[in-house]
Chains A and B, each alone.
Chain A
Amino acid sequence: MQQKVEGYPLKEYTTKIRQIAKEALENREVTAIIGWRKKDFWWQSPVVFLEDPADVQQLVWDPFTIYSPVKFLLDWQESCAAKVGIFVKGCDSRGINRLLQDKRLERERVAVYGVPCGGKADAEKIRASFPSKEIKSVTLIGEELVLAVGEREERVKAEAYLLDKCLSCRHPNPVVYDKLVWEEVSPRQYADESRFARVQAVESLVTEERFAYWQRQFDRCIRCFACRNTCPACNCRVCIFDQAEPRWLGKANDPADTLNYHIIRAFHVAGRCFECGECERICPAGVPLQELNRKLIKGINDAYGDYEAGLDPTDVPPLGTYRGEDPAGFDES
């Protein structure tokens, strides 16, 4: 499916975002804006918080406005009584619904500006093909990535350089918003096929091979908790893994305890994870967390019917309900 948007005029989108932010701040609809800004390097477009309408010039929209700003809403709500405006991509917007469903966000206190997204770029993949020091800018136009490398312009097929999580994105358009910043885009062509591909690859291994595989992955885990910190489904006021009494999770970097952490976190987000992929993307050790979280989604879909989290904040997550005729993953005789 071709993207409906003909070209991807970066400047126009950035302008649009700045315009919306400025108006909202000037009209005092919101007292602050959460968006993205450009930092020093070409791959850095981190989250920014603005309160002064004059500062909206900092806002950008480019292939690196990846970070989900949603978790910041939790802190915002706790510290400030006023309303905040937030720009969210398709994946981010499901995080909004996640917070709403978990009653961690009051809908009236947030103005949601939905930004349909054609995908974000993977800086690692770009660096593998182009000398990083020479890259001046990267722009996504339609299906192409346009790089300004030194004096020349390079045009490549975007798909090869997008983040893995974007390749299997099923909801590029925001599912909740007060304002849609521009026209919706078409869903990614092969999203459904690739969604459980890696899960199926692991499923094809036998028990010992599976354990060896996961042992290699989790051995790298340094228990930084970045995955938990970035995940909107992990929104408890006091996380179970931070508690000392009882001590559910030990402090030592014991392989069994690391497995304990990942098993329990995956269980806690089972049926609530909306596949934004931030956990895997943000992991500094490259642990393939989506392979784990998606396995649970697949299992729940197979057993209890297809369910997508973060689409409807009024529905009931699969582990919060049951049917008398539910199948079981064990011998019920």
Chain B
Amino acid sequence: MAPEAINDPPADLRPIPPACVVDENVFARIYEENCGLLVSLAVRKFQVPAVDAEALAHEVFLSYLRHADEVRDLHHWLIGAICNASRYYWRKHGRNVEQLDTEVAAERPDPRSRDVLTDLPNSIAIAEVLEAMPPRWAHILRLRYFEGYSIKEIAEQQGVTSKYMQKLVAKCLQRAQEIFNGLRARKDKDK
């Protein structure tokens, strides 16, 4: 005799009654008190560009409005939402990179490819070095030497003092040099 199916979870959940009556001021306070945190989380934890992080945080707030009645803890919900939104942002960003049209590319060569024979080995070496570094350190070096941020700006973004960031950048460079030397020694040995 075959057993009957075990209980399915309920098809949908019963709504939880609103915790309190809300007004516009309550929502304004929610926005003011949490917007900075959400943007910071997106920028610092997930390296979402600041402009996009602002837009993501705003989306999170708007999406909260339809869930307000069922949210048990506002901070948990908002933080969970921005973390998930940031991950989705990168998943989507990765998928949406457009492929280069090869015919158009052949007609209009990228000016940056002019010195490719000398630049490319350097670029590969740099990429290898950054790849071998801890992600946070690699991120700091990218900000400083590829995107042109000042020490002060990076320090603000990472939530540390400028003095500490100065030391950290020096440390990162030192580590990069060590990794580069190691890679070169290994390649020489392979030859």
Say if A and B assemble together.
no
